[in-house]
């Protein structure tokens, strides 16, 4: 009951924000405070579900466990970082106070998306999160954000139609609408169509090859403040849902693991090779987001083969959860930095060590975590995922390790820029963005410290 109350408090904050504005308090500090309270309620609900271990709501329509709780915690803390960093800047947007209303609304949708136990809940949560993020991308009002929002909407419409097709077939095959993939083993042609639709829909949402083509234009061009939410908060709900689809009695056709392995290789390779050519930090982060989804697909491949409850199965789950948290703790502050310091790699990072030692050290920790340097959070995520796949496909493991090595080239380039001499064009880091980097770095170190214990939770 308390979890429900907290989640509805998150929704209430989203509704109260525009109400406060219409009452003539559009510049009131209450707007920021109410939005922050909604985010805090979501974090509290996630902590409660993690403490319980397993929570069922609405007769099983929504089910949360340790895996989804960890991912939701990552999304919640990243949302809080984004909100604190944006601060009152959103008051100057022509769309004010939409940002402060949409952020808790997205978290509300993530809660139901990550824990959906019924295909209709999936569709409803999918629409809620999707529409909110479409609007969010366009909020700053600049030309790049509007163009990115249009492209994102087009892709989102296609993905939504595909997920609706998947849901309708699932309901037709299994009249209860329960979120179970066991029926796809029947070999019916409709089931094959459902699999293809689901793969394409989720592929578009998280940016895996060959459904990735929109992501560099959206993550790489839209305002970094909204990209931090779309890439670092909303995306985690879809990752949790994809993993749960494979956990809910999945007994698909024998070629499913092979398809996932091919997708993982293509996604990792494309993301890392493309990032080598990126000339600005925001685009580099966009391409590396694709590569990180490739690593997660490696773990999804393991889940389709490993026996439930086995060490490899639990390691794959722990790896996805830790990698998702490491990803959002690093990407959220770094995307925010791109908004606060300009679009070029030179303006964002060059001479950062000389200009702001604390920001430079914090950014270095976040980049090192994305690379997978021990003992940071990103290292443990990759370690668990790679150890899990080792017992099932050595070639796939080797490709993942090589790709992780390739990524070091552009991460090291970014680190080298920070130690260079600053130029007249470089900007100072705003105090709020400096705090975001610091909080992200502290969170990354903290998660890395407890990560060896996480496997015992699964």
Report, as an integer, the average pLDDT of 60-83: 92
Structure tokens at 374: 């021990």
**Could you state, in order of their start, the residue ranges of all structural domains in the chain?**
254-458
Q: Which long-range contacts (CB under 8 A, 24 or more apart) does 275-279 make?
A: 275/407, 275/410, 276/406, 276/409, 276/410, 278/345, 278/410, 279/344, 279/345
Binned at pLDDT 50, 70 and 90, residue 57 comes out as confident
Phi-psi region of 397 (alpha: psi -120 to 50; beta: other; left: phi over 0): alpha
Contact 458, 66 (CB under 8 A): yes
Which of 60-64, 174-178, 182-186, 206-210 is predicted least confidently? 182-186
Confidence of residue 178 (pLDDT cuts 50, 70, 90): low
| Mean pLDDT computed over 267-281 | 90
pLDDT of residue 183: 47
CA distance 45 to 51: 10
CA-wise closest residue to 237 among 73, 457, 6: 73
Q: Enumerate residues 6+ apart whose C-beta is below 8 A from 368.
A: 376, 378, 411, 415
- Omega cis (within 30) before 375: yes
pLDDT score for 36: 94
Of residues 224, 236, 288, the one with CA closest to residue 76:
236
pLDDT at 191 over 70: no
pLDDT greater than 70 at residue 346: no
Angle, nearest 10°, between helix axes 143-173 and 119-138?
170
| Token couple for 98 | 């939409």
Share of the chain above pLDDT 70, in %: 90
Rounded to an integer, what distance in angstroms lies between the CA atom of residue 50 and that of residue 65?
A: 7
Other beta carbons less than 10 A from residue 234's beta carbon: 22
Q: Give, as one character, the DSSP assignment of residue 442.
A: H
**pLDDT recorded at residue 180:** 56
Average pLDDT of span 194-205: 82
pLDDT score recorded for residue 184: 46
Q: How many residues does this entry show for the chain?
A: 458
What is the predicted pLDDT for the residue at 341? 56
What is the pLDDT averaged over residues 367-382?
Answer: 92
Q: pLDDT tier at 204 (50, 70, 90 boundaries)? A: confident
Q: Could you tell me which residues come within 8 angstroms of residue 279 by beta carbon, excluding any fewer than 6 positions away?
A: 344, 345
What's the rounded mean pLDDT across residues 348-372? Answer: 83
- Given a contact cutoff of 8 angstroms between Cβ atoms, the answer to whether 291 and 272 are in contact is yes
Distance between CA 276 and CA 272 in Å, rounded? 7
As a whole number, mean pLDDT of residues 343-366 equals 74
Burial class (CB in 10 A: 0-12, 13-18, 19+), 12: middle
The closest alpha carbon to 209, from 269, 161, 148, 273, belongs to: 269
* Mean pLDDT, rounded, of the chain: 86
178 has which bridge partners? 118
393 versus 23: the higher-pLDDT residue is: 393
The phi and psi torsions of 18 (rounded to 5 degrees) equal -65, -30
Percent of the chain with pLDDT over 90: 44
Distance CA 187, CA 205 (A): 27
Please tell me the distance from the alpha carbon of residue 13 to that of residue 17, in angstroms, as a whole number.
Answer: 6
Q: Which residues contact 68 (CB under 8 A, 6 or more apart)?
A: 49, 114, 115, 240, 244
pLDDT score for 189: 67
Alpha helices, DSSP H, located in 53-142: 66-86, 98-115, 119-138
Is the predicted pLDDT of residue 455 greater than 90, yes or no? no
CB 63 within 8 A of CB 115: yes
Cβ pair 121, 61 in contact under 8 A:
yes
In which band, very low, low, confident or very high, does the pLDDT at 339 lie, cut at 50, 70 and 90?
Answer: confident
The answer to whether residues 276 and 284 touch, using CB atoms and an 8 Å cutoff, is: no
Phi first, then psi, for residue 179 (nearest 5°) are -80, 80
Q: What are the CA-CA distances from residue 97 to residues 4, 28, 109, 399 (Å)?
A: 26, 10, 19, 46
Residue 182 has pLDDT above 50, yes or no: no
Phi, psi of 27 (to 5 degrees): -110, 15
Q: pLDDT tens digit string along 19-30?
A: 888 777 667 788
Check whether the bond before 210 is cis (ω within 30° of 0).
yes
Is residue 361's pLDDT more than 50?
A: yes
């Amino acid at each position: 009951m308390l979890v429900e109350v907290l989640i509805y408090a998150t929704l209430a904050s989203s509704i109260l924000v525009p109400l406060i504005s219409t009452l003539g308090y559009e510049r009131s500090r209450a707007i920021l405070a109410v939005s922050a309270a909604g985010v805090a309620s979501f974090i509290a609900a996630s902590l409660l579900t993690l403490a319980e271990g397993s929570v069922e709501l609405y007769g099983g329509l929504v089910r949360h466990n340790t895996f989804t709780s960890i991912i939701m915690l990552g999304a919640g803390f990243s949302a809080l970082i984004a909100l604190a960093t944006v601060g009152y800047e959103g008051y100057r947007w022509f769309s004010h106070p939409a940002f402060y209303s949409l952020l808790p609304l997205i978290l509300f949708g993530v809660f139901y998306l990550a824990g959906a136990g019924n295909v209709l809940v999936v569709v409803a949560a999918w629409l809620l999160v999707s529409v909110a993020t479409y609007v969010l991308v366009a909020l700053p009002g600049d030309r790049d954000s509007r163009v990115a929002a249009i492209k994102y909407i087009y892709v989102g419409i296609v993905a939504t139609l595909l997920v609706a097709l998947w849901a309708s077939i699932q309901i037709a095959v299994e009249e209860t609408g329960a979120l179970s993939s066991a029926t796809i083993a029947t070999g019916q042609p409709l089931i094959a169509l459902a699999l293809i639709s689901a793969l394409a829909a989720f592929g578009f949402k998280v940016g895996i090859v060959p459904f990735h083509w929109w992501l560099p234009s959206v993550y790489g061009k839209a305002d970094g403040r909204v990209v931090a939410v779309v890439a670092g908060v909303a995306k985690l709900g879809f990752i949790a849902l994809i993993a749960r689809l494979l956990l809910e009695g999945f007994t698909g056709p024998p070629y499913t693991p092979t398809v996932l392995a091919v997708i993982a290789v293509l996604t990792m390779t494309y993301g890392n090779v493309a990032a080598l050519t990126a000339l600005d930090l925001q685009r580099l982060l966009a391409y590396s987001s694709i590569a990180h989804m490739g690593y997660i697909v490696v773990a999804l491949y393991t889940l389709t083969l490993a026996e439930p409850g086995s060490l490899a199965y639990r390691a794959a789950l722990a790896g996805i959860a830790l990698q998702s948290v490491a990803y959002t703790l690093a990407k959220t502050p770094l995307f925010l930095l791109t908004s606060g310091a300009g679009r070029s790699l030179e303006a964002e990072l060059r001479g950062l060590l000389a200009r702001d030692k604390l920001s430079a050290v914090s950014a270095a920790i976040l980049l090192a975590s994305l690379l997978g340097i021990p003992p940071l959070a990103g290292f443990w995520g990759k370690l668990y995922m790679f150890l899990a796949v080792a017992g099932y496909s050595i070639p796939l493991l080797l490709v993942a390790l090589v790709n992780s090595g390739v990524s070091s080239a552009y991460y090291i380039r970014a680190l080298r820029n920070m130690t260079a001499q600053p130029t007249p064009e470089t900007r100072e880091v705003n105090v709020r963005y400096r705090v975001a980097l610091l909080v992200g770095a502290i969170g990354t170190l903290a998660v890395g410290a407890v990560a060896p214990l996480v496997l015992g939770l699964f």
